[in-house]
């Protein structure tokens, strides 16, 4: 039996010292692919580097996580978009992710942050559609809203992560 880990964060700084160990463990456990999901511009760059360093196992998903919208530098969303467009034909970039909506930790300027999450999410969905890449979507507590948004895009493959409210997903999106 072979396995794929479609959602891990190998590019996060806290895992930097453990990447070799994770890769070795995956290889010895019949894992044939690790998809390193990014959360911002820096981790998107790092995911690409990891995919190039481990070309037989690691793949990159590039994007802006909803939790990171609050800390985005003024041009970080634009830089991430350009990075994705520059790597669109790179065989190791396999998805746009991790992207999505999650308002759980929003405090203070909640409406502004909700708007920024929505803007970043839609920007990433446009790239997913334009480049015909799957979207890895963080959807905790926002599945219904995300499904409504997704209906505006022609995205063929979606991986829902931290997803809830299964009953809100239209049957045409479900395949077993």
DSSP labels, 98-138: EEE---TT--SSHHHHHHHHHHHHHHHHHHHHHHT--EEEE
Q: Is 51 exposed, middle or buried (0-12, 13-18, 19+ CB in 10 A)?
A: buried
Q: What is the pLDDT along the chain (176 residues), one digit of tens a residue?
A: 999 999 999 999 999 999 999 999 999 999 999 999 999 999 999 999 999 999 999 999 999 999 999 889 989 999 999 999 999 888 899 999 999 998 887 777 788 889 999 999 999 999 999 999 999 999 888 888 999 999 999 999 999 887 666 555 555 555 54
pLDDT attached to residue 146 = 93
From the CA atom positions of the chain, what is the Rg in Å?
16
Output the domain CATH number for residue 11. Answer: 3.20.20.140
Between the two ends of the chain, the Cα-to-Cα distance in Å is 19
Rounded CA-CA distance 4/2 in Å is: 7
Q: What is the dihedral of CA 101, 11, 9, 36, to 10 degrees?
A: 90
Rounded CA-CA distance 48/92 in Å is: 7
pLDDT attached to residue 163 = 66
pLDDT attached to residue 140 = 83
pLDDT attached to residue 106 = 76
Domain carrying residue 151: 3-173
- CB atoms near residue 107 (< 10 Å): 7
């Amino acid at each position: 039996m072979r396995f794929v880990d479609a959602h891990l964060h190998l590019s996060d700084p806290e895992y930097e010292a453990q990447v070799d160990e994770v890769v070795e463990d995956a290889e010895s456990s019949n894992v044939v692919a690790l998809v390193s999901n990014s959360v911002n511009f820096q981790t998107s760059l790092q995911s690409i580097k990891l995919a190039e360093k481990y070309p037989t196992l690691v793949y990159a998903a590039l994007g802006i996580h909803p939790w990171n919208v609050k800390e985005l530098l003024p041009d970080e969303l634009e830089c991430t978009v350009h990075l994705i467009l520059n790597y669109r034909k790179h065989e190791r970039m396999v998805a746009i992710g991790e992207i999505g909506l999650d308002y759980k930790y929003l405090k203070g300027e909640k409406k502004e942050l909700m708007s920024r999450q929505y803007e970043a999410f839609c920007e990433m969905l446009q790239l997913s559609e334009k480049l015909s890449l799957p979207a890895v979507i963080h959807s905790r507590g926002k599945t219904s809203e995300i499904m409504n948004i997704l209906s505006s895009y022609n995205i063929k493959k979606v991986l829902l992560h931290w997803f809830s409210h299964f009953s809100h997903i239209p049957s045409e999106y479900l395949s077993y």
